[in-house]
Amino acid sequence: MRKLQVFIILLFASFSLFAADAPYSNWWQQANNHYQKQQYDSAAAYYEKIASQNPDDAVVYYNLGNAYYRLNAIGPAVLNYERALHLDPGNKQAKDNLSLTQSRIGNRIQGAEDIFFVRWWKTITGADKANIWAVISLLVFLSWIGWLIASRLGKARRPDVRIQIALGTGLALLLIFSYTASMRRADSGHAVIMEPDAELMNAPRESKYQSLLPEGTTVRIEQAENNWVEIQLPDGRTGWIQKDKLTKI
């Protein structure tokens, strides 16, 4: 009788999981069908639902970027391509589509291209690498500890001091990679201007603006103060903008 009760509980649990997953799968199907029928506004609505349920899926942000691009919504398109690249920096299609979208920004503000080392650092510490570096760090640490224990028990040769220094240095680097990638995953530190001609001020609550920012401009967030955010533009200039004019990546 007890086995039967356990079976019934497991059966209902499995059914609940299936029922919870069913709408999610249906949303994907609906979104893709609407996109293929060129009903891009409906496709975007379903992709937004999917993103709200699974915010770590780079594919859904890439699809959202495509849908918004078709709708000529430059700000949302840039935002979602940036989100896709934040999670998957090596996504060439997202990079190409982001460049294409940004080429349509009027009075685009451009900065200097990153040097090789900066590009390399961003790639190896991308948000998608956080778990990989964490696992490698743990394996190296456990292997090191296992080697030391084995040498204490006389079952292995004691590692040379130079080898231990090399292992320690390597482990420290791995932990730095893991920490940096985790921080990128938690918060990219960037945002996208979502309205045309957003006013950039020298200070919060000023009545006179220093320049107008085009929709789709990607900026770096420096600090926030009430309803204002200090940002850095791609060309290095800084200023303040109202918080509701941008959306964080």
114-130: pLDDT as tens digits = 777 877 887 888 777 88
Q: Would you state the pLDDT for residue 69?
A: 98
Burial of 198 (0-12, 13-18, 19+ CB in 10 A): buried
Rounding to the nearest 10 degrees, give the CA dihedral for residues 25, 78, 221, 180. Answer: 60
pLDDT at 21: 61
For residue 232, give the nearest of 214, 217, 249 by alpha carbon: 217
Whether 169 maps to a domain, the answer reads yes
Residues 182 and 196 in one domain: no
> Would you say residue 176 lies in a domain?
yes
CATH classification of the domain holding 53: 1.25.40.10
Alpha carbons 71 and 40: distance in angstroms, whole number: 7
Q: Looking at the structure, do residues 160 and 199 belong to the same domain, yes or no?
A: no
Q: Does 107 reside within a domain?
A: no
Q: What is the pLDDT of residue 95?
A: 95
Cα–Cα distance, 49 to 27 (Å, whole number): 8
Report how far residue 46's alpha carbon sits from residue 23's, in angstroms, rounded to the nearest whole number: 11
What does the pLDDT read at residue 131? 84
Mean pLDDT by 10 residues, the chain (249 residues): 41 40 83 97 97 93 98 98 91 96 93 77 80 91 88 78 88 91 78 96 85 96 93 95 95
pLDDT at 182: 81
CA distances from 62 to 105, 120, 147, 151, 238 (A): 19, 22, 45, 51, 29
**pTM across the whole model:** 0.73
pLDDT attached to residue 32: 96
- How many domains does the chain divide into? 3
pLDDT reported for residue 161: 84
User: Which domain range does residue 126 map to?
Assistant: 119-186
Out of 152, 167, 186, a domain closes at: 186
Residues 95 and 35 in one domain: yes
Name the nearest CA neighbour of 90 among 129, 116, 54: 129
Is residue 46 within 8 Å of residue 34, measured between CB atoms?
yes
Do 67 and 47 have their domain in common? yes
Which CATH number characterizes residue 210's domain?
A: 2.30.30.40
